[in-house]
Structure 1
Amino acid sequence: MIQTLVFTLITASIALLTFLKCRQSGERGTDAKEYFLAGGGLSWVFVAGSLTLTNINTDTLVGWNGNQTLIVVWWELAGVIGFYLLAKVFLPIYFKNECTTVTELLERRFGEPHLRATVAFLFLIGNVAIFLPIMLYTSSLFLISLFGLEMPLILVATTIAIAGALYAIFGGLRAVAISDTYSGVLLFGMALVVVFLALAAVDWDLSGLPPERLQLIGDSSSKVPWHTLFTGLILVQVYYWSTNQTITQRALAASSLKEAQKGCYAAAIIRLTLVPAIVIVPGLCAYKLYGETGDSTYGRIVADTLPHWLTGAFAAAMVAATMTSFNSTLNSSAALYVCDLHQRYINPTKNVAKLSVTVSILFALLGIGLVPFYMGAESIIQLIQQLIGLFSMPILASFITGLLFRDVDARAVIASLLFGAGLYALLTFGWEAWYEADPATRLAPWHFLHAMTLTVAGCVGFALSVNLIIFGKRARLDTGPRT
């Protein structure tokens, strides 16, 4: 009873504080900039909070702790590089071009709206088919593990989706960013408490763990081989923090370029100092206590170490984290559809808010419907990282081509997007299936992070080749200022 009461009070308090803060900003307009960029009025504090909480959620806490190894911390540490590149390289370009969506920059560089629409469509596939259902799955799995719930996972997922969607549907990005920040304070506070209690449960001693669980430099069989630190791992960070609509939209909503950059630097400091402990330590402690427990690790150690009266507060923190990531992805997906597809090809409506409500509801329903496809995954976080390469690397390659070269036909870049998705699928899923059919005689597949590197290089090379051979244009390196 006390758990439910604490959970309800905290969740309601975050909603009330968000409502009051949004109301201070006055009446919202219905245009795209107001609804999707909060009117360009976010301070660096809310930019940092939203950037952090959009990324740190149950996917991260459940997924990384479920690996129960130290080496996966590289995924989080490498994010600092992504923040720096976003602040110093990409944000000045986005702000100078007054972009609402990152895809708008591609249209301006290539002068072709169809390329913008193609990339937006790929983003939408990733958001709706991968990120939304996985967020719902991991959060539901955590709550079931924490409270020992005896109810269908899909019912828990539906409840979380409805609650999270309300922020995105009725509040726009302003409500999303504000709720992100308030939720972030709660989540990080509770997550650090779990770190402390988990270490106390093993007497602050991790020395009994197998050496491979504590290594930072991995061999070729590791989850993060050392050589991938210089290839695909960096490219993933550049894509995620600099060209991903869900993330960059928070920075673009800042009141100025300077405020956006300050928010990025603050988020980078949080990632460097706080995030590694909360995504690694509980999993290592759980391995010493229980052995290998997979994606149920985090829920189990929280249930076993956290005082009973605090579990309601922690559940509220985790649900808030899921809702912020879920509503952030919903809001950015609506932005991509409305700005890049609907207004361009269907109807240039001015009532963005009304259209966004309809689209957000549809995307939320699709996300719920796809949850069963991810049940039973061996490592949900590894699956996420592998799947996103299908669209993330071709998209990143299109930005690289656009920013580094001039005189490239947009149709060549569109062709490279399709080529890249197919190439990555062959290098990962195709190669794995081919190898497993006869492991004794066939070459083992390369790590998917290396496949990402080959995909980016292949896409850029393919675009330039098609540009020359098919369209008769010779691309030239752009050495001027980035605009």
Structure 2
Amino acid sequence: MNLTIVLSFVFFTFLAAFISFVKSSGSSKTTTTDFFFASRTNGYLIIGASLFFSNISSNQFIGENESVYMNNMSVIGWGITSVFAMLIVSEYFIPIYLKTGVMTTPDFLEKRYDKDTKLLVSIVFLFSYIVNLLPAVLYGGAVAFSSMFNVPTFFGISYWQSIWLLVFVIGILGSLYSILGGFKAITISDTVLSTCMFVLALIIPYYGLMHLGGGSVESGLEVLVSSKKEHLNAIGSETDAVPFSTLFTGMIIVNLYYWGMEQYIIQQAIAGKSLKDSQKGIALACLAKLLCPLLINIPGLIAVHMYPSLNNTAEVFPTLVKDVLPGFLVGLTASVLLGAAITTYNAGLNSSSTLFVLNLYKPYLKKKRGVEASEYELVRAGRLFQIAISLFAVFFAPFIIFSQQGFYNYLQKVGVLFTIPIFTIIFLGFITKRVPALAAKAGLVTFIICYLLSQFVFDIKLHFLHVVAIIFCITSLLMLIIGRLKPRATPFVLELNNKVDISPWKNRHYYSIVLLVLMVLIYLVFSPLVLAK
């Protein structure tokens, strides 16, 4: 690691932090709306950047390029098809959240079902974030950064020690953003880093193709598309990373949950100053997702030709970056990688605190005292809670290295266990009016039990996304039967309690059509009909 790389990394990292805190320093952080939702003043540019960069983590830079190198382009299914889910969320989910004035996803469950359902789901959310999201983000960021810069050799320490060191660094930086700067600092940081990432999405393929073509981008592109075409195929078979068939089953469900119900994601959209800004921000994030393969997939394709046999395939992306980019751009890439880990971490930290303070701590104090807690007490409790769970995540994260079936398997299996049961009861709450709270509780328990049995007891010869779709259908059917046998006394009616303007974006449908056409075209290009022919 030369001095230019180090200085460049330090410069860009501190520049992003400086801009974030300067731009957010004048914003109020005295109320829960200020601290957790940036006073609902975010415009569509900040919303789009925050949605996009909160979704991007270091794991994707490393894992998706590795998957393309080892397999093919089928892994783009996670990102590209999320555009379809995001547009559905923009059209149907976000208007419901903003019209009802909810501040957390479980708030809707209280309105739709009852307080017990809200409490139960809030606890599941928190458990998922504290045990799965926050430690996994720290661990993934540490692995990526250690791999990219060979931290053990640089500092003369073991790999295990380097993971501990980097987990602490990412955890401390992420905590400072969230605890001191609040949600406003997080969203501004996302905007700055998204801009840097867009620059890298153009620069890295350019330098990579020029290196591959011996100084000519055109020659490099010709090499890329004329040989080893099996890697260019995004239409995955049943043995590939993402089978094409899963895009129409469990993938839709997972993406709808993630973009429409995951608290740390949805919080970015409902912090908008209007429904129009939220919908425009989501459209902007969709466009960014369509450009994502340039950075998290194309380098893997280039590496297929540059490195025929890498011993450690997890080093595909960092090796390519170090070999083709000038030193100052390597430093910028490292800064974005670190930022990707930090921004997802601090978004999860802020949302965990939001859930705890508004859904658990505030009701507890009211029940205990008989009066509402002050805004000062709630914000203070939020900061203390963030410190506590951050400490837990930092000490827990390094031990993910011992997960028997690997890091990504850990993320997939544990993540679905918590998330899709929540999606099921919220989705049924959206589309039905008579399904009662009893059905929601039964559905939550049923999904968790069935999923645990399918993954850890019975050897089911199906991709886990197909299994998710099957259990979703079973759980939904159970809830509908309960709703038929013991329906709500009165049908659910959506009551307006909006805090912002809820006039929709008039041109949204035209942009949606363009985005969906682009999504299909990307699959068409990376298929046996075109490049993989």
With normalisation by structure 1, the TM-score equals 0.90
Matched, 1:375 2:379: no
CA shift, 1:174, in A, is 0.9
Describe the shift of the 1:189–1:138 C-alpha distance in structure 2 as closer, same or farther (beyond 3 A): same
CA distance in 2, matches of 1:251, 1:482: 20
Give the Cα–Cα distance (whole angstroms) in 1 for the partners of residues 108 and 447 of structure 2. 20
How do 1:350-429 and structure 2 match up within 5 A?
350=374, 351=376, 352-375=378-401, 380-381=407-408, 383-429=410-456
Aligned match of 1:473 in 487, 492, 499?
487
Query: Are 1:222 and 2:236 matched, yes or no?
Result: no
Partner secondary structure for residue 234 of structure 2: coil
Please give the secondary structure, in 1, of the residue aligned with 2:272. coil
Q: Distance in 2 between matches of 1:145 and 1:447?
A: 30
2:211 pairs, out of 194, 198, 201, with 201
The one-letter code matched in structure 2 to 1:244 is: E
AA partner of residue 273 (structure 2): S
Which of 75, 79, 89 is the aligned partner of 1:76? 79
Distance 1:224 1:114 in 2: 37
| Letter in structure 2 aligned against 1:257 | L
Mind listing any 5+ residue stretches in structure 1 that lack a counterpart? Answer: 435-443
Residue aligned with 1:28, SS: coil
Q: Which residue of 1 aligns with 2:332?
A: 313
Displacement, 1:396? 0.7
1:141 and 1:296 in contact (8 A); partners too: no
> In structure 2, the residue corresponding to 1:388 is in which secondary structure?
helix
* Alignment check: 8 A CA contact 1:48 1:266 kept: yes
Aligned pairs for 1:74-473 within 5 A? 74-110=77-113, 112-150=114-152, 151=157, 152=161, 153-203=163-213, 204=220, 205-207=223-225, 210-272=228-290, 274-290=291-307, 291=309, 293-346=312-365, 349-350=373-374, 351=376, 352-375=378-401, 380-381=407-408, 383-431=410-458, 434=459, 445-467=461-483, 472-473=486-487
**Residue 211 of structure 1, CA deviation:** 4.7
C-alpha spacing 1:354/1:209, structure 2 compared with 1 (3 Å): farther
Q: Which residue of 2 aligns with 1:9?
A: 11
Aligned to 1:439: none
Contact 1:49 1:181 in 2 (8 A): yes
Q: 1:413 and 1:186, CA in 2 relative to 1: closer, same or farther beyond 3 A?
A: same
Pairwise CA distance, 1:399: 0.9
State the AA in 2 paired with 1:181. Answer: T
Out of 312-321 and 2-11, give the one that drifted further.
2-11
CA gap 1:301/1:237 in 2 versus in 1, 3 angstroms: same
3-state DSSP of counterpart to 1:220: coil
Q: Cα gap change, 1:399/1:199 in structure 2, threshold over 3 Å: closer, same or farther?
A: same
Deviations 1:194-227 (A, max 9, x none): 2222233332223576554222222222222221
Q: Give the aligned CA root-mean-square deviation in angstroms.
A: 2.3
Structure 1 residue 106, shift from structure 2 partner: 1.1
Question: Is 2:55 the partner of 1:55?
Answer: yes
CA distance in 1, matches of 2:16, 2:233: 39
**TM-aligned CA deviation for residue 476 of structure 1:** 10
Give 1:296's aligned amino acid.
E
Cα distance in 1 between the residues matched to 2:56 and 2:360: 29
Deviation string 1:99-129 (CA, Å, 9 cap, x unpaired) is 111111111111x111112112222222222
Q: For 2:61 and 2:133, how far apart are their aligned partners in 1?
A: 15
- C-alpha displacement of 1:421: 1.3
Whichever residue aligns with residue 138 of structure 1, its letter is G
Deviates more, 1:260-269 or 1:338-347: 338-347
1:34 CA drift (Å): 1.5
Where structure 2 has 5 or more consecutive residues not aligned to the other structure, the ranges are 214-219, 367-371, 497-533
**Do the aligned partners of 1:464 and 1:475 also contact (CA within 8 Å) in 2?**
no
Q: Which residue of 2 aligns with 1:440?
A: none
Q: Distance in 1 between matches of 2:330 and 2:293?
A: 22
The AA in structure 2 aligned to 1:460 is: S
Q: How far 1:281 moved relative to its partner?
A: 0.9
- Whole-angstrom distance in 2 between the partners of 1:72 and 1:476: 45
Question: Mean Cα displacement is larger for which, 82-91 or 305-314?
Answer: 305-314
Offset of residue 312 of structure 1: 2.0
